[in-house]
Amino acid sequence: MDLMKGKKGVIFGVSNTHGIAYGIAKQLYDAGADIAFTYAGEAMEKRVRPIAEGMNAKLIMSCDVTKEDEVEAVFKECEKIYGKLDFVVHAVAFAPKEDLMGRFVDTSKEGWDIALGVSAYSLVTICRHAEPIMNEGSSIFALTYLGSILSVPSYNVMGVAKAALESAMRFLAVDLGPKGIRVNCLSSGPVKTLASMGISGFSKMLKAAVLRAPLNRNVSLEDVGKAGLYLASDLSSGTTGEVIYCDCGCRSAYASAEEMDILSKE
C-alpha cells in the first residue's frame, strides 16, 4: 500500500513494540511513510533506536517535550533532513504513579503540574514549532482516552490532562487551519501496553470494555494503528478539531450490570 508514499513526519512517544505509538508507526511505515523518531532521554534510546532503524528512520533524536529548546531542535533537524513535514504524532503522556492511585481529591500540586505539562501543554509546544515546516494539507494528531470525558477508576489526574489535551487540540485546529494544517485527537479503547499496566485495576478495565463494546472485544494495536493512518493521511483531509474514537464502540454503549460488578470489585 502506497497511501503514505512520499509523506514525511515525526512521531513523539514510541517506546517499545507493544505500545499504541508503535502500532501507528508500523501502519504509517507499511504505507510508505518516512518517519523520524524521538525518545525521552538516554535510558529510552536502547528501546527506540532499534525500532526506528528497523523503519529506516533518517532521524532518531532525544527530546524532552517539556523543554522548549529540545522540541525546537527536533523540528530544525527535521527541516534540514526532510524540508517540509506532512504529519506529526503526539503520543506522549505521564503522571506520577502516586497520583494515579487513591482518590483524585488527593492529587498533589506537583503531580497536577507534571501531568498537565507533559501530557497536554507539550502539544502546544510541538504545534508551535511544527507549524513553520508543515505542508498545506498536513496533519497533527495526539493520543487521548475516554477518561477525558468520564471518571474512569484510577485514571485520576491523567483524565484531567487528557481533557486539557482535547481542549487545546480544538484551539490549535482553529489557529493552524488557515495554513491547511489539521489537528485532531485519536481516542483509543484500553489496550494492554507497558504504560497502561501501570494503572491500578487496568486488567478490570480490559474485561469491562469487552462487556460494554458492541463488537464484544477490546481494540487491537492494529485497529488503532489504522485509525492513526487515517488521521495522518489525505483520507482525513476534511477532518480537524475532532476526537476520533477507536474503541470497538465502548463510548457509545451503557455500562452493563456485569461491567459495573467488575469495576466495583478489587
Q: What is the DSSP string of 187-221?
A: EE-----TTGGGSTTHHHHHHHHHHH-TTSS---H
Tell me what pLDDT residue 216 has: 82
CATH class of the structural domain 8-194+220-250: alpha beta
CA pair distance 174, 185, nearest whole angstrom: 14
Say what percent of the chain tops pLDDT 70: 89
39 has catalytic annotation: no
The H or E element spanning position 21 is: helix 20-30
Tell me what pLDDT residue 211 has: 76
| Interval 62-76: pLDDT, tens | 999 999 999 999 999
| Interval 112-133: pLDDT, tens | 999 999 999 999 999 999 999 9
CA pair distance 230, 138, nearest whole angstrom: 12
Catalytic residue among 22, 82, 155, 230: 155
Tell me what pLDDT residue 198 has: 54
Catalytic residue among 22, 29, 39, 145: 145
In the chain, where the domains are located: 8-194+220-250
The list of the chain residues with pLDDT below 70 reads 1, 192-206, 254-266
Q: What is the pTM of this model?
A: 0.91
155 has catalytic annotation: yes
